[in-house]
Amino acid sequence: MTAPGGEGGRARAAAIVACYDATLAFFCSRLGPREQDAAEDLAHDTVVAALVVAARNGDLDMKNPVPYVLGIARNKLADFLRRKYRRRELPLDEGVPESALRDLADRGHTLRMILAEQRRRVAEAIALLSETERRILTMLMAEGATVSEVASAVGLPAPEVSRIKYRALEKIRAGLGRGSSR
Amino acid sequence: MIGPSPLAWPCEDPSDGGLLEGYADATLEPMRSTRFEEHLFACPGCVAELRMRQSTTVALAALEARRLAGRRWTFAALGAAAVVTLGALLWLTAPGGSADPFSLDLRGSLRGESSPRIAPAGRPLVLRLPVISPESRGRTFEVRVENAAGREVLVEPALSLGEDGSVLLRVPSGLLKPGGYSVILRERDAPAGSSAERRFKLELR
């Protein structure tokens, strides 16, 4: 593999690799908590595909790679949902800078560690919530209930349910420590 | 720390427009969802907030799954305990409740009638009785069981000799009550009380 485009090419590749975090957040949001592994794979595949596009079309203006990355991510998501559980191998194209692939692997590895630590601390923070807060958050976030459904289930007004959710998320945010969680 | 320095959340970028909440809850219309995603890729603060919410969702889902699994195990344990208790009650109360037969080899008691062989009451019995002599092969045997008063409680008129040189007598559960019995084995057509007859003592407890 070669690294085309010299400094310009490397800068473009770095800008694409920097989209990995948002790409992962996109897939995690769209696929839900049961498909976290698939979300990681898809985020990785998306960034690699964007690197391939950049390598093939050296003249593309990649100062802002977001439209490319987001476009590819949406296609990958649609493809995944169409062929759920039937993964397709992504052929790596000659010309993708090896350093970009290495950076992407590093970024994925680091983010995985950060997420694991974050999930551990979130679990600790959840343990400190009141029973009502935990129950309401579980219904809203893990079971996909709406605020009005939760309100009627727990016998509280809907605005109160929203307030409890907001308060509980604030507690979790505080438990994580804003500086280390981001 | 990954990426540029985080922004504060709630996002100060006006292009967010408060969409994250709806995006995280998957309640946004497609157009607004698309708009938020374009914002997301340029906003590390929203990425971090979304990541925190996703971690929370994963942790809550795992907690709920564990809670449900614990409840399933509790129900399974209660169910198993109920089945065991019911089985034990049936075994204790029903006559011959256990279907597992008790095998007793009487070949060792050929030498005399002084001490009875012990078997549990309330279970089916398989009694292995020794033949009278090697010449008895191919012949048919009669087995009688008498209670302590000499009353006949079971007769098997035609049992054949097994490969191991003994006759098997199967006694259904509940037929014999606890007490002493005599098991009499003789060749058919041999006169009662002849030397071709053997007696074994059996006690059910």
- Chain B residues contacting A via beta carbons under 8 Å: 1-3, 6, 23-27, 37-38, 40-42, 44-45, 47-48, 50-64
For residue A93, the model assigns a pLDDT of 59
For residue B204, the model assigns a pLDDT of 87
A154: left (phi over 0), alpha (psi -120 to 50) or beta: alpha
pLDDT higher than threshold 60 for residue B38: yes
Q: Nearest-CA neighbor of B63 among A37, A12, A127? A: A127
pLDDT tens readout for residues B93-130: 555 445 577 888 776 555 445 677 888 888 888 888 87
For the beta sheet containing B197-204, the strands, ordered from the edge strand earlier in sequence to the opposite edge, are B117-119, B197-204, B179-187, B140-147, B152-160
- Give the residue-averaged pLDDT of A34-59: 85
The two tokens of residue B197 are: 């007859």
Mention every residue, 6+ apart, whose C-beta is less than 8 A from residue A24.
Answer: A39, A40, A43, A111
Taking the C-alpha atoms of residue A29 and residue B44, their distance in angstroms, rounded to an integer, is 15
The model's pTM: 0.52
- Give the residue-averaged pLDDT of B73-98: 66
For residue A6, the model assigns a pLDDT of 65
Facing residue for A29 by CB, picked from B50, B62, B64: B50
ipTM over 0.90: no
pLDDT tens readout for residues A114-147: 888 888 899 999 999 999 999 999 988 888 788 8
Tokens 């993708």 correspond to A96
Which has the higher per-residue pLDDT, A59 or B103?
B103
Which residues of B are less than 8 Å from A28 in CB distance?
A: 50-51, 54
Residue B203: strand, helix, or coil: strand
For residue B68, the model assigns a pLDDT of 76
pLDDT tens readout for residues A150-161: 898 889 999 999
How large is the C-alpha radius of gyration of chain B? 40
Where does the pLDDT of residue A59 fall: very low under 50, low under 70, confident under 90, or very high at 90 and above? low
Share of chain B above pLDDT 90, in %: 0
Per-residue b/e over A13-52, b at no fewer than 16 CB within 10 Å? bebbbbbbbbbbbbbbbbbbbebbebbbbbbbbbbbbbbb
Taking the C-alpha atoms of residue A52 and residue A172, their distance in angstroms, rounded to an integer, is 39
Taking the C-alpha atoms of residue A177 and residue B15, their distance in angstroms, rounded to an integer, is 26
Q: DSSP strand E in chain B: where? A: 102-105, 117-119, 125-130, 140-147, 152-160, 166-171, 179-187, 197-204
For residue A3, the model assigns a pLDDT of 45
B191 preceded by a cis bond (ω within 30 of 0): no
- Chain A residues contacting B via beta carbons under 8 Å: 18-19, 21-23, 25-26, 28-29, 32-34, 36, 66, 69-70, 107, 110-111, 114-115, 118-119, 122-123, 126, 134, 137-138, 140-144, 146, 169, 172-173, 176, 181-182
- Which of A134-143, B6-15, B118-127, B155-164 is predicted most confidently? A134-143
Please indicate whether, in this complex, the C-beta atoms of A140 and B25 are within 8 angstroms of each other: yes
